[in-house]
């Protein structure tokens, strides 16, 4: 999905001042989904967080399309959004991606890279689990088929990693 400049929050005037972001002190009240490596919820978390940023007209901080690092207000807003990111991920993810003086866009990219890198490993692990299910009864077999279909529909597994059933 391509997001226009208008949707990113710049290039037009808005009746909602950017000062609204200063009132968001607990991101979990606005974007209640916590990103967790074990929950396989990256896509849902990304959509919730992106929607929140679009609603506050600060999406451009995520994609770095309007970088003004010498502008004091831009730096302040960028750090607030970075705090939102840090508040919406687990400690494990935070420790994996945190770097000194990173911009919001840098943190966003690090999280994306972490999950894209982990996707293939998780797919292989899940495929291995499916291969090792003991076929004691038809219920287990039906569960395996349903699990496989769910994983495909959630885009967790790609067909090339799947066993033939």
Q: How is the chain split into domains, by residue range?
A: 5-118
Beta-carbon contacts of residue 80 (< 8 Å; ≥ 6 apart) = 21, 22, 24
Q: For position 81, what pLDDT does the model report?
A: 94
Tens digits of residue pLDDT in 75-111: 999 999 999 999 999 999 999 999 999 999 999 999 9
Please give the residue that has the higher pLDDT: either 162 or 45.
45
Q: Which residues of 69-106 are buried (b: 16+ CB within 10 A; e: fewer)?
A: eeeeebeebbebbbebbeebbeeebbeebeeeebbbbe
Q: For position 38, what pLDDT does the model report?
A: 84
Q: For position 151, what pLDDT does the model report?
A: 63
CB 78 within 8 A of CB 104: yes
> The pTM is what?
0.65
User: Residue written as tokens 């200063």?
Assistant: 22
Please give the residue that has the higher pLDDT: either 142 or 103.
103
């Amino acid at each position: 999905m391509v997001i226009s400049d208008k949707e990113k929050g710049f290039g037009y005037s808005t009746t909602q001042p950017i000062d609204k972001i200063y009132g968001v002190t607990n991101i979990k009240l606005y974007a209640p989904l916590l990103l967790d490596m074990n929950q396989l919820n990256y896509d849902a978390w990304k959509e919730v967080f992106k929607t929140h940023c679009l609603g506050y007209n600060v999406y451009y901080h995520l994609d770095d399309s309007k970088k003004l690092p010498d502008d004091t207000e831009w730096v302040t807003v960028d750090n607030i959004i970075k705090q939102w990111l840090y508040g919406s991920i687990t400690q494990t993810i935070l420790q994996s991606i945190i770097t000194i003086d990173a911009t919001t866009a840098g943190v966003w990219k690090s999280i994306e890279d972490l999950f894209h890198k982990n996707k293939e490993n998780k797919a292989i692990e899940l495929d291995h689990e499916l291969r090792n299910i003991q076929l004691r009864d038809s219920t287990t077999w039906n569960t395996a088929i349903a699990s496989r279909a769910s994983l495909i529909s959630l885009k967790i597994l790609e067909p090339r990693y799947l066993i033939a059933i």
